[in-house]
Amino acid sequence: MTERSFQCDIRKQVLCVSDRCFDTSSLPELLELKNQTPEGICRDLYTFLYAWFSEGETMQVQTSGSTGVPKIMEVSKRAMMNSACRTCRFLGLQEGDSLLLSMNLKYIGAQMMVVRALVGGLRLLLQEPCAHPLAAVQERIDFLSMVPMQLASSLQREAERNILQAAKVVIVGGGAVDSLLEEQLQVLPCRVYSTYGMTETLSHIAMRPLNGPERSDRYYPLEGVALSLSARDTLVIEVPDVCTGKLETNDCVTLYPDGSFVVRGRVDNVINSGGVKIQIEEDERLLQGFLSFPFVITAVPDSFYGEKVVLLAERPKSSEKETNGLLAVCKDALPRYHAPRDIVFVLSLPRTENGKIDRKGCRNAALRGLEIKKGG
């Protein structure tokens, strides 16, 4: 089998979306479209394509802000194409395959879907970002990228589930895939992967198979990605054709000899409560099978413990008896001294604009909730 070739010359690239095609000669049309089209995914696409086809070797992208203040980065178009080729090659995408874009184009995950379409000759379909992006789809989709909430919602409706079953591959990013969703994915015949990456790596550099015989709890690096551990046991990434130098992350991982790894959590998501170090993500995974509502583990300053562990629960406020029952469930499910010492109920968990859990916002919400509770 011959090696798949990709179109990495921007001057020769063509993007076909709906019944229109765009290339470098479309700049006047794209400028008019982005100025006249109402807010939404279409205008965001025209804006992106205008910048992509314009002169200049770089693009501006925005970080998600899930672990800090969102910032603007200048990135190389060549590096974006290198990353896109790596993904298309790994997933076995072919020229003419259809691709659905239903995410916020302000962020790198969605932007890289467009670049994959450009380098791979894929046909792009657009749907406004929402919980059910497949609801209005009338044709086969070969390649989908979704956040966990979109995938979980789509699995609940037969028509949308049928579209997923007919796909070649689905990638899931922008948040953790919980154990319940992972079990639901086992009915899908298509390949489903959880992705690992960040804005600095121009989307993902590793994937975890979520279903089928290759299902695993480990992420496997894509071709050309070198991984190592820092002195803090955090992941260090080296992808010469995508990012300059070595990138040290804040993700604590277990790295195996074959290059695969398991993410234990983030260094900045460690709670120190009474001298006991608690990795938030590990305890959240342990609780997933015991709590039937969306939740987050967070902490607030405490004069005795230093940091007091709090469960932030997305559900109506419970009675004192029910609250004590939930605290008891957590105590039984978690290691000694890890259990939350209080619960704050909220209408919705704090999230960033693109749907990720806002850890700083969760801490603030827990603090406000406890202050209200204390005040009566």
Residues 38, 139, single domain; the answer is yes
User: Given 223, 247, 262, which residue is the final one in a domain?
Assistant: 223
pLDDT exceeds 80 at position 133: yes
User: Given 184, 207, 223, which residue is the final one in a domain?
Assistant: 223
Q: Is 130 within a domain?
A: yes
With vertex at residue 278, the alpha carbon angle to CA 277 and CA 280, rounded to the nearest 5 degrees, is: 150
CA distance 330 to 7: 52
Considering only CA atoms, which of 171, 152, 149, 168 is closest in space to residue 160?
Answer: 152
Q: Give tens-digit pLDDT for 75-109.
A: 999 999 999 999 999 999 999 999 999 988 988 99
Q: Give tens-digit pLDDT for 321-367.
A: 999 999 999 999 999 999 999 999 999 999 887 778 899 999 999 99
Q: Is 58 within a domain?
A: yes
How sure is the predictor about 69, in pLDDT bands with cuts at 50, 70 and 90? low
CA distance 178 to 185: 11
User: Given 223, 258, 283, which residue is the final one in a domain?
Assistant: 223
Q: Is 218 within a domain?
A: yes
Residues 219, 308, single domain; the answer is no
Looking at residue 107, its pLDDT comes to: 87
Q: Is 151 within a domain?
A: yes
Three-class HEC string of the chain:
CCCCCCCCCHHHCCEEECCEEECHHHHHHHHHHHHHCCCCHHHHHHHHHHHHHCCCCEEEEECCCCCCCCCEEEEEHHHHHHHHHHHHHHHCCCCCCEEEECCCCCEHHHHHHHHHHHHHCCEEEECCCCCCCCCCCCCCCCEEEECHHHHHHHHCCHHHHHHHHHCCEEEECCCCCCHHHHHHHHHCCCEEEEEEEEHHHCEEEEEEECCCCCCCCCEEECCCCEEEECCCCEEEEECCCCCCCCEEEEEEEEECCCCCEEEEEEHHHEEEECCEEEEHHHHHHHHCCCCCCCEEEEEEEECCCEEEEEEEEECCCCCHHHHHHHHHHHHHHCCCCCCCCEEEEECCCCECCCCCECHHHHHHHHHHHHHHHHCC
Residues 130, 204, single domain; the answer is yes
Q: Give tens-digit pLDDT for 242-266.
A: 998 999 999 999 999 999 999 988 8
Residues 30, 174, single domain; the answer is yes
Residues 205, 312, single domain; the answer is no
pTM of the shown model: 0.82
How sure is the predictor about 11, in pLDDT bands with cuts at 50, 70 and 90? very high
Q: Is 315 within a domain?
A: yes
Residues 39, 137, single domain; the answer is yes
% residues pLDDT > 70 (the chain): 97
* Contact call for residues 42 and 126 (beta carbons, < 8 A): yes
Q: Is 266 within a domain?
A: no
Residues 30, 98, single domain; the answer is yes
Considering only CA atoms, which of 21, 39, 168, 14 is closest in space to residue 94?
Answer: 168
Q: Give tens-digit pLDDT for 265-315.
A: 888 888 989 888 899 999 999 998 899 899 999 999 988 888 999 999 999
Residues 73, 199, single domain; the answer is yes
Residues 86, 206, single domain; the answer is yes
Q: Is 249 within a domain?
A: no
- Structural domain boundaries, residue 117: 10-223
Residues 351, 213, single domain; the answer is no
Residues 64, 133, single domain; the answer is yes
pLDDT exceeds 70 at position 369: yes
Looking at residue 333, its pLDDT comes to: 94
Residues 161, 33, single domain; the answer is yes
**Domain CATH for 352:** 3.30.300.30
Considering only CA atoms, which of 283, 310, 284 is closest in space to residue 299?
Answer: 310
**Domain CATH for 126:** 3.40.50.12780
Looking at residue 313, its pLDDT comes to: 95
Of 17-21, 65-69, 149-153, the poorest mean pLDDT is in 65-69
Q: Is 107 within a domain?
A: yes
How many domains are there within the chain? 2
